[in-house]
Structure 1
């Protein structure tokens, strides 16, 4: 971690909440809303989120699994996401979510009309906007945590054990 965190302080709470409280608080609200208010199906949500985590290299994000109504994706889901092009574990929506995440994070200039036509066969415009906002949140905040070395100390505030 490249940030000096005072003894006894939680690194995430300190960096996001105390160092830049106005920006950090707003960022934390967005980061949590992506999980609490998303209407996307769990599999496409997790495929997109995990693909961003893999690209960012965020250790916490790669280990995290979103739970909805007591359901989580299977233990091998991260491997399927890594191999989204060839896996037989994905339907069209899930595969497109992983593909869109990769393009969004690593090659957004190559997103063309043909890609959008494929997306629009599986997702409506509102879902595309929602997915895009989720991708933006995961890309920016996961990368921030990874770059600053916070990803080894990260716990979502609503999932703290202490």
Structure 2
């Protein structure tokens, strides 16, 4: 259920209406932050999508759970008419649907590499227990064994974008309506 008043003629895109009518500067900054994650991430696509998908599950964001970066990220930039020189979808092979189906079972599924498991674990714990994660020396030892500092900073900011902006979409009910760039997602 959408939690702000949306004119009937704008019901198909409540997020777009809110971006034009309310908090324009804040929503523009949020949009830029979100796009920066997809345009500049150095993580492999599978690491990125594992972490992103886990956050989508935790947040309950319907749109985010259906999003597939390899297929949908280029559409995020379609309004500009120019595809950026780099997108995260360029960072290796795309996960298949079995990958997405197994994300919630990341601890036991054989589909994930050690790096993918750490990325998913980081995302889950960032969203659910950030204070415990910050102090878990065992986790940080494992993370540093697999990720560079640049990759950890990338992952942390990506997870922050998905956690915060996904929760906004879910809480305000924007995820109850398919966003324009999601029109092709089933």
Q: CA separation in 1, counterparts of 2:162 and 2:148?
A: 21
Q: Which structure 1 residue ranges, 5 or more long, are not aligned?
A: none
User: Under a length normalisation based on structure 2, what TM-score does the superposition of the two structures give?
Assistant: 0.81
State whether structure 2 residue 52 is matched by structure 1 residue 49. Answer: yes
* Equivalent residue, structure 1, for 2:4: 3
State whether structure 2 residue 121 is matched by structure 1 residue 118. Answer: no
The within-5 A match list for 1:4-153 is: 4-9=5-10, 10-67=13-70, 68-69=89-90, 71-111=93-133, 112-153=136-177
Q: 1:134 to 1:24 in 2, by over 3 A?
A: same
Preserved CA contact (<8 Å) 2:67 2:182: no
Deviations 1:123-151 (A, max 9, x none): 00011001000000000000010011111
Deviations 1:41-95 (A, max 9, x none): 0000000000000000000100111112495310122221110000000000001
Tell me how large the CA RMSD over aligned residues is: 1.8
Q: CA separation in 1, counterparts of 2:24 and 2:152?
A: 30
Q: CA separation in 1, counterparts of 2:41 and 2:64?
A: 17
Aligned residue pairs, count: 160
Q: Which structure 2 residue ranges, 5 or more long, are not aligned?
A: 71-88
User: Under a length normalisation based on structure 1, what TM-score does the superposition of the two structures give?
Assistant: 0.92
